[in-house]
Structure 1
């Protein structure tokens, strides 16, 4: 029996979280910078693509999804290899929607923070004009 379809939305959460953290957050900055450098300087196409994978959240989400499917054995619609392929691409797509939404929220929060800082500066300088 195939698991319920709503699991695909749940499984996409850790994929999005891991892919975003590895490719965007400060905690992995040094390894990411190393991978960026290697993705540009390696002579072998295979090596350049391998290192690039750790710098792109979309690319990396595919590999995280493969690992997740191996661990969970989740299939979508079909109980065989076709179900793994459908689940894999579906999870990647949903995870990337999650990451895009998260990025939009972060941009909005940064805008609000910058606006608040500008207003604070105006108040400190005694400028009360709108």
Structure 2
């Protein structure tokens, strides 16, 4: 058994989640993502469609990022052979996707709050305009 602390699982999942989310959702990668979405819908060969789809889905893409992180860190979980990499890989993907889900929930809540505040501001402006007119 390996003596690698379990907290590394939660620490390594942070950059995996960050990279996966940024590439698959944020504006900075909009153009390549749009290209990949188009190719994932229009490619004739199934393998090509699936390849491009995997570049646009945060869950799918997190597997690529996890593989890269395992290669550069050598992190293994529980066992010190290939099985340790396998366990670590799936565990990192799982934790990273929990992080991304939580982040998405927070973003939705923040967006909803902004919309509510904007509606309230518009209502107040309308009331002020009506008061000035009358």
TM-score, normalised to structure 1, is 0.95
Aligned to 1:92: 93
Bigger share in helix: 2
Structure 1 residue runs of 4+, over 2 Å off? none
Aligned to 2:15: 14
Return the alpha-carbon distance in structure 2 between the equivalents of residues 108 and 125 of structure 1. 26
Question: Could you list the runs of 5+ residues in structure 1 that have no partner in the other structure?
Answer: none
TM-score, normalised to structure 2, is 0.92
What is the CA-CA distance between 1:2 and the residue it aligns to? 3.3
Aligned to 1:108: 109
Return the alpha-carbon distance in structure 2 between the equivalents of residues 118 and 40 of structure 1. 37
Q: Report which of the two structures shows the higher radius of gyration computed on alpha carbons.
A: 2
Aligned to 1:54: 55
What is the CA-CA distance between 1:54 and the residue it aligns to? 1.0
Comparing 90-99 and 38-47, the one that deviates more: 38-47
The CA deviation string for residues 26-46 of structure 1, in whole angstroms up to 9 with x for no partner, is: 111111110000011111111
Return the alpha-carbon distance in structure 1 between the equivalents of residues 3 and 51 of structure 2. 33
RMSD: 0.9
Aligned to 1:123: 124
Equivalence map 1:18-97=2 (5 Å): 18-97=19-98
SS at match of 2:127: coil
The CA deviation string for residues 40-82 of structure 1, in whole angstroms up to 9 with x for no partner, is: 1111111111111111000000010000000000000001100
